[in-house]
């Protein structure tokens, strides 16, 4: 089934770039709709990993032999590519982490421990992933800070009027998700950042779900920190990024101790390295860092605006089709969304829905999606979530609709 967008992107050709899609599950062609958890990897990214291990596997930075120099060059080339991807002002502002969760914990345990004290207020939102709740709770317990929460309306949008009321002279830190993993809501992060800065607060944006769907410009946003994971933008797992403004990173203490993050060590005193290396102790995840540059190049070759347009077409089509199913209710009706649809069905548990769909070869995510407070806000235990990527098609959505009718028939 062709659309205007499909004429720009050859979706069938793109699908051939992703070998994992060419398989059957329980005798049915795989329909992969779990992209908000992780998306699949193109051959070029898989090839970059293989090329590293086959061609120049070596530890980086301190070696003078050819393989070490080649690995170091490829590793640092990824840092420069990510700087460009985010439009960061300085390459030193790009810190490699193990993922979004690791980046948030790094900020909480370094900036938070150094600069936040008893009575200081931290603001998060109702729609946060547990990874952007628990680190701040831990910090509050340790430092005596106060955690405040921005409420969400029935459409799954943040209530900015209530956010404004939460902001006080005691507000020292705001940490908010750019895009909800459970609802697909795109939050007005520029407004949130500006309002926080107006009271002198520092801001972290969780970009885990945003980077493959919307343009990111950290200078235009004026965010203090931005975190994301490679595996949700067609890159490898186990690799993430923390962007931080240079002045803030310079003032933050190291997160871990070990090799690379030091200049000189004696038994009496250690002198720490400059950023970014101050936060990158030990042998890093070299192969996956190298491969993320290839993932960014793959997305650029398709055009991020083309990817977004195709995914938006899928979102609109799926929303229209699913809305016609009796007893199905979509959770999260924000005006501005990425390609995520969460839904519940009358009298049918989301886990049963997921199991039956899996029998039909359709991969969806079920449960609370690590957003239990958000689920409680909507008075539900969890949802079934279908999330789309560039290689998905309208025909696959038709399969999902047929599968849901099968669920209803089996559970009636």
Q: Where are the beta strands (DSSP E) in 219-266?
A: 225-229, 240-244, 262-265
Question: Same CATH topology for 11-42+304-411 and 47-300?
Answer: no
Q: Is 214 helix (H, G, I), strand (E, B) or coil?
A: coil
Q: Domain map of the chain by residue range? A: 11-42+304-411, 47-300
Quote the pLDDT of residue 259.
64
Catalytic site includes residue 399: no
Query: How confident is the model over 4-52, as pLDDT tens digits?
Result: 444 489 999 999 999 999 999 999 999 999 999 999 999 999 999 999 9
Rg, Å, the chain Cα set:
22
Helix (H) or strand (E) holding 161: helix 160-166
Domain 47-300 has CATH 3.40.640.10: yes
Q: Where are the beta strands (DSSP E) in 216-299?
A: 225-229, 240-244, 262-265, 270-272
Quote the pLDDT of residue 2.
37
Query: How confident is the model over 75-115, as pLDDT tens digits?
Result: 999 999 999 999 999 999 999 999 999 999 999 999 999 99
Query: How confident is the model over 145-175, as pLDDT tens digits?
Result: 999 999 999 999 999 999 999 999 999 999 9
- Compute CA distances 138 → 92, 105, 109, 244, 248, whole Å: 28, 10, 9, 21, 21
- In 3D space, the residue among 361, 313, 293, 339 whose CA is nearest the CA of residue 11 turns out to be 313
What is the second-level CATH architecture of the domain 11-42+304-411?
Alpha-Beta Complex (3.90)
């Amino acid at each position: 089934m062709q659309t205007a967008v499909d004429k720009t992107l050859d979706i069938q050709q793109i699908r051939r770039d992703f070998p994992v899609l060419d398989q059957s599950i329980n005798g049915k062609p795989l329909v992969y709709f779990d992209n908000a958890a992780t998306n699949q990897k193109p051959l070029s990214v898989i090839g970059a990993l293989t090329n590293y291990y086959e061609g120049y596997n070596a530890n980086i930075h301190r070696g003078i032999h050819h393989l070490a120099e080649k690995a170091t060059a490829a590793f640092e080339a990824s840092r420069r590519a990510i700087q460009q991807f985010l439009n960061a002002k300085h390459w030193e502002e790009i810190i490699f982490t193990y993922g979004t969760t690791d980046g948030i914990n790094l900020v909480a345990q370094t900036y938070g421990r150094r600069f936040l004290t008893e009575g200081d207020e931290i603001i998060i939102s109702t729609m946060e992933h547990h990874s952007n709740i628990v680190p701040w709770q831990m910090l509050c317990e340790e430092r005596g800070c106060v955690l405040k929460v921005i409420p969400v309306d029935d459409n799954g949008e943040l209530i900015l009027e209530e956010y404004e009321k939460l902001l006080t002279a005691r507000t020292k830190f705001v940490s908010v998700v750019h895009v909800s993993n459970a609802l697909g809501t795109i939050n007005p992060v520029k407004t949130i950042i500006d309002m926080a800065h107006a009271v002198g607060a520092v801001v972290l944006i969780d970009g885990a779900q945003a980077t493959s769907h919307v343009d990111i410009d950290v200078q235009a946003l004026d965010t203090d920190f931005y975190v994301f994971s490679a595996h949700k933008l067609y890159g490898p797992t186990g690799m993430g990024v923390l962007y931080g403004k240079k002045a803030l990173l310079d003032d933050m203490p190291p997160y871990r101790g070990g090799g690379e993050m030091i200049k000189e060590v004696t038994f009496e005193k250690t002198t720490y390295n400059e950023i970014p290396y101050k936060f990158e102790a030990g042998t890093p995840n070299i192969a996956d860092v190298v491969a993320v540059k290839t993932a960014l190049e793959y997305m650029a070759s398709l055009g991020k605006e083309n990817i977004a347009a195709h995914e938006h077409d899928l979102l609109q089509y799926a929303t229209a089709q699913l809305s016609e199913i009796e007893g199905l209710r979509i959770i999260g009706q924000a005006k501005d969304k990425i390609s995520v649809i969460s839904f519940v069905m009358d009298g049918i548990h989301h886990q049963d829905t997921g199991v039956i769909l899996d029998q039909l070869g359709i991969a969806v995510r079920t449960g609370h999606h690590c957003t239990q407070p958000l689920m409680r806000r909507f008075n539900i235990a969890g949802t079934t979530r279908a999330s789309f990527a560039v290689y998905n098609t309208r025909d696959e959505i038709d399969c999902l609709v047929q599968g849901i009718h099968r669920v209803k028939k089996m559970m009636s």
